[in-house]
Structure 1
Amino acid sequence: MRALLANRVYRRLFAAQVIALVGTGLATVALGLLAYDLAGERAGEVLGTALAIKMVAYVCVSPLVGAIADRVPRRFLMVGADLIRVVVVALLPLVGSVWQVYLLIAVLQAASAAFTPVFQSTLPDVLPDERDFTAALSASQVAVSLENILSPLLAAALLFVIDFSTLFVGTAFGFVASAVLVHGASVPAATRSARDRFVDRLSSGVKIMARTPRLRTVLALNMVIAGTGAVTLVSTVNVVRVLLGGGENQVPLLLAASGTGTALAALGAPILLRHWTERRVMLSGAVLAVLAVSGAVVLSLAPSWALAAAVWVTIGAGTGTILVPIGRVIRASSTPQDRPALFAAQFSLSHGCWLITYPLTGWVGTLAGFTVAWSASAVIVVTAAVSARLLCASGTTTVVRHSHDDSAGHDHLAGAESSEGTWVHTHHVVIDDNHRRWPSAVG
């Protein structure tokens, strides 16, 4: 980590991420309590809808940003997103009805959908060494965990002396500080894509994910993460207040349990990746997710603080174990010019999974109770985990011996063997102009 922080650009970007996430953590707690204040025991339904709106913004906005991220300065995109978020969170304490919450959340998350994939696609350019990049992925995931550890704990302390709506002020300061740090960083320009048409750039990331076998595995794992994560993000307020009979100042403590699991897994992932493949590490995280969501069903039948804490920690651990290797897989599966679009596609498609699980957990939990909602989540998680395992078995090879006809570029065919009118060679494959489909292996 010390070597990473010696990189001035990365240091400023990482600091911006941490500060913004601490502020976001305060807003997460405050938003849940605001929903409970406005809707009472229907808070899960309100929060589920608000988070569904967030996912719609992520799914729709991030591909648009990915299509222009190589044309517009990345620093401009990130600073602009931060300033929009400052304005929105400053308005949240003033809302008096549920529809106002929904409107402001839509704008807030549209800005986040611009910031995050641009930030993610910047890291490989700032840190070209794979070991440094892996360490940065781990550090970023730990930083995300601050939203569920330090921020909720800070919120718990502040709630003893201030009203929950004041927590939104902390979020505003976080976004201001993030904007200042990013503005002062020498963010490298993205490699310009050769695709001139906007519609081609808009769809390129999704096409690459669909055509790359190991990225199809990532798509299944996205649903594993969403199925378990929704249990904590949507249900925590009602679990504490209704299922466990706790007070509002105990909500951040249970959120912190999930963050602890994610942070521990993120710190351990680089160590595991020195000895295990990305495939093995990600599938281990999927196993943890299955255990966690099964434990949630048991919790709904036999409530206890100890079991709740264990389930929340395991959910976080499963998430962290999967997420760190995913960044490496995406980097290895793209050319520099396609990387912004691919990170945006992953951001969009992964949150498309949350768009399914957020309302499922919130609405079904409100209508039918925790047991039915979490049982449905368990079915989703188990199905997605089995699918990921089968997709891994069907093909995760990155180095393929394959053939080309004469349409491939001459530079690409340099050194290839000529065989019966085709050219055969072996190399690390990504979807690009010379490989518009994943090639079939030849003997």
Structure 2
Amino acid sequence: MRLFANRDYRHLFGAQVIALFGTGLTTVALGLLAYDLAGPRAGMVLGTALTVKMVMYVVIAPLAAAYVDRLPRRTFLFVLDAIRGVVVLALPLVTEVWHIYVLIGLLQAASAAFTPTFQAVIPDIVTDEADYTRALSASQVASTMESLLSPVLAAVALSFMSFNWLFLGTSAGFLASALLVLSTRIPDAGPSTHTKAWDKAAAGIRTFLKTPRLRGIMALNLVVAAAGSIVIVNTVNYVRDELGGSQSDVAWMLAASGTGTLLAALVLPRVLDRIAPRTVMMTGAGVLVGGTTAAVTLIAAGLTTWAGTAIIWTVIGIGMALIITPTGKVLRASVDRAAIPEVFAAQFSLSHLAWLITYPVAGWLGTSVGFILAWSVLVVLAGMGAIGALLLWPRQDGRGATTSLVTTSRHVPSTDRSTLAKAA
């Protein structure tokens, strides 16, 4: 494939894949560490840790995008990967819950700066429009494969080792990712049109607020976060306490959601060639509302079975992929090339702002009053997000605007692309 003939992209993609799998193993291990330290209150501990993560993402990501053009990007990415590797290596040594919060804060501060910088690098390395679209798809496939395979690898590993060893594997992954980043030729960012850092940080958010399809994506972020919080925060307590499962069973149940994501990801590239991204994403919202409603119904009726839970988790994985997979394409089609770092950083922060709302609901409310009420609140939030997306993203701003903008931008000077983006 022509895309992977590009050495720099190939190395960066390898760095992304390795770091993704390291992050996936950390997610599984962190839940088990929380259960080891807090038992039945693990959901609250995990919810708090993930809330700290979201605060870091919401605050730091736009600032990183604002200042990245002033830094040597290859060195910056290398240092951030190295920091993550060292911090994860310290997680097995914690003996108090507050230690988790401090280390997660450091880890996610580095991740919050890494992701928007990495996303902004890709269009500078992959300059062909068609190859860039393929690069977006490849990144999504890597993410979906990680969501499936990381829990499976963790389940296999946990059958013969303690979960603490997963942190060691994660640390090695981040360090390997850092070395791959160091082997690439990443150009420094071009000068920004914004003279003040905060103006650049806020530019992407302003673009979201004035663009109908991006306002719709803001609402869809809430749908994804509401459904995803049930899986990410509550699986460990649900499997261990409600179903009586083991550490390995927790990983296998997380893999069920990843299976749904992978199944959708395999089908979506062809679907998106024929069906508007808006239609696909709204369908995903409906699937997630239905999946979270089914989860509440299952536990309220006392029908907590392995098969029923696995099916619902798989459905949630499918719904999340239907929304997340087309998002990059919609973002890219909404702005000219110079604004890509800003709009991707804005999406990074705004999507995690939604998780900042839903993680405490799943963790704190789920621990204090039980899954039924907590998940019912998340169903309401998912429904609000779905309705908001339908209202904020007009049907006429669907496929036509997205497709025509991407196609046209290949044939017009970059100075005219901004006008096209604003018109859409």
TM-score where L is the length of structure 1: 0.88
User: 1:403 is matched with which residue?
Assistant: none
Aligned pair in 2 of structure 1 residues 292, 428: CA closer, same or farther (>3 Å)?
Answer: farther
Listed as ranges, the gaps of 5+ residues in structure 2 are: 403-412
Distance 2:268 2:148 in 1: 19
9-18 or 38-47, larger mean C-alpha shift: 9-18
Partner residue, 1:386 = 387
The answer to which of 235-244 and 52-61 deviates more is: 235-244
Question: Where does 1:15-164 land on structure 2 (aligned, <5 Å)?
Answer: 15-164=14-163
How far 1:72 moved relative to its partner? 1.7
Counterpart of 1:375? 376
Distance 2:91 2:418 in 1: 53
Aligned to 1:245: 244
Q: Which has the larger radius of gyration?
A: 1
Shift of 1:399: 6.0
Task: Name the stretch that deviates more: 322-331 or 40-49.
Answer: 322-331
1:205–1:344: 8 Å Cα contact kept in structure 2? yes
Matches within 5 A, 1:3-14: 3-14=2-13
Q: Distance in 1 between matches of 2:419 and 2:299?
A: 48
Instruction: Tell me the alpha carbon deviations over residues 247-302 of structure 1, each in whole angstroms, 9 at most, x when there is no partner.
Output: 11111101111111112222322211110112112112112111211121122222
Distance 1:180 1:427 in 2: 36
> Cα gap change, 1:224/1:24 in structure 2, threshold over 3 Å: closer, same or farther?
same
Structure 2 contact 61–116 (Cα < 8 Å) conserved: yes
Query: In the TM superposition, what are the counterparts of 1:307-386 in structure 2 within 5 Å?
Result: 307-386=308-387
SS at match of 1:70: helix
Deviation for aligned residue 1:49: 0.4
Q: Is the Cα–Cα contact under 8 Å of residues 82 and 175 in structure 2 kept in the other structure?
A: yes
Q: Check conservation: 1:399, 1:428, Cα contact below 8 A.
A: no
Change (3 A) 1:428 1:22: same
CA contact (8 A) 1:25 1:148 kept: yes
1:114-167 CA-partner distances (Å, limit 9, x unpaired): 111111222233334444333322322222234332222222222222221121
The CA deviation at 1:412 is: 11
Shift in alpha-carbon separation, 1:341–1:45, aligned structure 2, 3 A: same
Amino acid at match of 2:81: D
Structure with greater helix percent:
2
Matches within 5 A, 1:192-203: 192-203=191-202
Q: Which residue of structure 2 lines up, in the alignment, with residue 290 of structure 1? A: 289
Partners of 1:247 and 1:387 in 2: how far apart?
Answer: 39
Question: Following TM superposition, by how much is the alpha carbon of 1:199 offset from its aligned partner in structure 2, in angstroms?
Answer: 2.0
1:41-74 CA distance string (max 9 Å, x none) = 0000000000000000000010110101222232
Asked whether the equivalents of residues 19 and 177 of structure 1 are also in contact (C-alpha less than 8 Å), the reply is yes
Which range moves more in the overlay, 161-170 or 119-128?
119-128
- Contact 1:222–1:350 at 8 Å: present in 2 too? yes
Residue 196 of structure 1 aligns to a residue in which SS?
coil
Gaps in structure 1 of 5+ consecutive residues: 401-410, 415-425, 432-437
What is the distance in 1 between the residues matched to 2:395 and 2:159?
54
Contact 2:116–2:344 (CA<8 Å) still a contact in 1?
yes
Mean Cα displacement is larger for which, 227-236 or 160-169?
Answer: 160-169
- One-letter code of the match for 1:237? V
Contact 2:337 2:414 in 1 (8 A): no
Q: Partner of 2:184: helix, strand, or coil?
A: coil
Larger CA deviation: 348-357 vs 181-190: 181-190
Partner of 1:405: none
- How big is the alpha-carbon RMSD for the aligned residues of Structure 1 and Structure 2? 2.2
How many residue pairs align between the two structures? 411
The residue that corresponds to 1:190 in the other structure is 189
**Contact 1:59 / 1:348 at 8 angstroms: preserved in 2?**
yes
What CA distance in whole angstroms lies between the structure 2 residues aligned with 1:113 and 1:413?
Answer: 30
274 and 212 in structure 1: CA distance in 2 versus 1, 3 angstrom threshold: same
**Which stretch shows the higher mean deviation, 53-62 or 261-270?**
261-270
Deviation at 1:376, TM superposition (A): 0.7
| C-alpha displacement of 1:24 | 1.6
The alpha-carbon distance between structure 1 residues 413 and 429, as it changes in their structure 2 partners (threshold 3 A), is closer
Instruction: Say which SS state the counterpart of residue 377 (structure 1) adopts.
Output: helix
Residues 57-66 or 130-139, more deviating: 130-139
Shift of 1:187: 2.0
Is the Cα contact below 8 Å between 2:63 and 2:198 reproduced in 1?
no
Matched, 1:222 2:213: no
Provide the rounded CA distance (Å) in 1 between the counterparts of 2:414 and 2:202. Answer: 24
User: CA distance change for structure 1 residues 75 and 244 in 2, over 3 Å: closer, same or farther?
Assistant: same
* % identical equivalent positions: 50
**Given the superposition, is the C-alpha separation of residues 313 and 188 from structure 1 closer, same or farther in structure 2, using an over 3 Å criterion?**
farther
CA contact (8 A) 1:215 1:330 kept: yes
203-212 or 49-58, which deviates more: 203-212
Query: Does the Cα contact within 8 Å between 2:21 and 2:170 map onto a contact in 1?
Result: yes
